[in-house]
Structure 1
Amino acid sequence: MSLVYVTNKKNGTTYVYESTNYWDKEKKQSRSKRVCIGKLDEAGNLVPSKRLAMPPALTPAKQGPVPSTVMKRSFYGATYLFDKIGELLGVTADLKACFPESYKQILSIAYFLILEDRNTMLRFPKWDRTHSHPYGSCIPSQRSSDLFASVTEEAKNRFFSLQAKRRTENEYWAYDTTSVSSYSESLKQVKYGINKDHDPLAQINLALLFGEESGLPFYYRNLAGNISDVKTVKHLLADLGNLGFSKVKLVMDRGFYSKENIDALYQNHLKFLMATKVSLKYVQEELNKVRDNIRTRANYNASYQLYSHTATIDWEYSQKRPYKGDVIEGKRRMYLHLYFSGEKALEHENRFNALLDRLEAELVSGNRKMEHEKQYAKYFEITSTPKRGTKVTPKQKAITQAEKDYGFFALISNEIKDPIAALDLYRNKDIVEKAFGNLKERLNLRRTAVSSESSLEGKLFVQFIALIYLSYIKKQMSEKELYKNYTMQELLDELDIIEAFENPGSALRVGEVTKKQSQLYNTLGVVPPTTL
């Protein structure tokens, strides 16, 4: 026996039928018998047929949990896991506080995005019929668009603030951006820029903030596609100030480096760790002091198989004061961490030699390329005669100068003194890159096709909610070494097959839970569901 939903095309009403399969002996084939048991109201709830409704006086009273109003058999195990994660992280409570009218729909769509890997909202009605979820009713594609459009900037920022307060106060927050390609020609923020996926389409950019200790995201902002990373830092600081955060610690890659940004971080009294270019003047000055003696046993780290050195330097700080028309200047203490990796040096050298081979082949063959003219002149002496043709001689001095920094890289911080501690923290920043991978692959955000600004804002927010759950599961699986036996999809599939049974007037009844499934719940930090 199952439920069948049929929509009347004339009046748009969706009727619900109870379908029972049976064997027709005469026709020797399987047949089905349908009985209409009611219709769905505007909220998607079942309104029973009058002939089936019981008189109020005869309706039995039940003690305990809220009884069901429909008869349904559904998959429950994975959505139960999400329910408990939401309680543990405060996501459900914070969403309810910020979106009291729609938080259940937001959660249900987030659950759907996680379990229906890469599928569009057109598949939600089918998923709804087979799964238990917070909203408990169908959310058609049009209604999901209305939901996305209802997400306001005020409510979204309030959610960010509530979630961030639940994070570890002293942890560093990793910050990074990615590009999201778009087919839309009507969105104002869709612009051509540096696409990090090498996609030829126009794009929007997405900035994300992650707690390095918690492994959870709690802030994002979408930007115009032509905005570079370095221009986003001051707006990030302003947003964090508006959210009420004064003591912030940030980890960023060298794409965010500029003197103006470092000055802003000092001005706002924020702690930071950032990668920077080795070619900068003050980095070269310190590097030249240790270039020949950094590779000693005392400076070697076996875990990373590299050498490190830290220098305390003075940062030339300046702050413009428009209201007074002057500039404050001074020195601020900074730690410059220098590293040398033999593996990186070899990698850079091989790549450089491959480039020189390609340039020399182009010169000798006469197939010169305009974009390589500066490199031809920089690395080769070129002579041509009618008899001997083109002769190419390497400029060894220029080549040696280009190779001198191979294998070296640098980090700067105004708090972390130890070079290996700084490197540990910086390497953990890849959680943001992996989060972007989850957004684009599992949550169907590689290319966005929404056509309105409001729909884009709401869809990004619901995908962000789904990312919180994915990030929690990923962190637990990594720490408890579950990836040795499961992919994330395999783990979710293992739990998803647990069923729940709903009957009118009765509390939810959970089906059988195996020992393996109970162990998975416990390992993920969740109490297994109670069965009969």
Structure 2
Amino acid sequence: MNWKYDPRPVDGKPASNTASAELYYHMFYDPVIYQEAADKLTESLLTIKKKLLENEALTEQEEELKEKFFRNDKEKGLIIVNRRVDDYLKYKGFRVLVTDSEKDPVKAWTAYADRWRVEDAFATLKDRLGCNRIRCSDNKALQGKTFVQFIATGLSLMVRSRIRCYMKENKKAGKLNLVYESDAKILQVLNNVMQTRFNHGYYFDEVAGKKIKYFEALDVRVPGAGPETPEEVPEEPETEPLLGTDIEI
């Protein structure tokens, strides 16, 4: 769209709108966001109904929800109006991304997601590791915290890089579309692949469906369902590190 705007707005004066710019509006639908909103609303409405049946007082916010989504029925009493719920949730899964530089929707979303990951990484450093106010007992603990975050960030970058390569190579192959899947969501799905160890080895639970596609996208071998014996790794002789020697990882 062609957006007209005032390049030099002044308080108290009407906008001139003499300048213009070409903007791109990208619309995306995320079923996860929709479902989260639906679950939250359903839980709130059921809580209200339970409180009313038990003659408990409602909060101010619950009173507003009651007026908006309930009605009195002569036979059934107070009921939830499904049409109002549907209207409220109608656009909950949609997101609009505005840009003046990228026409391709996938590239625009990828750039937005990458910038958001940078912000999330800083939030992790500040909130989870407490790096906005260092609360470590000594320098060794601080170094440990920072190193753990460094490893986690590196793994996250590897996951995203492999997903991009997979999508680029299989764009026309009709395979799993992972463009809008977050690293955290993919790893969360794979996090419940259980391993059982015993005296002579170990085995994994069966991996099927979407999980197989995730392993394929990450270029990681799918764990087998049968017993496997770990390969014996020869022990390396212990060596003392040389001071002043650079180590490349």
Higher RCO by CA contacts (8 Å cutoff, separation 6 or greater): 1
Structure number with larger C-alpha Rg:
1
Instruction: Calculate the TM-score normalised by the size of structure 1.
Output: 0.25
Instruction: Calculate the TM-score normalised by the size of structure 2.
Output: 0.50
Higher strand share: 1
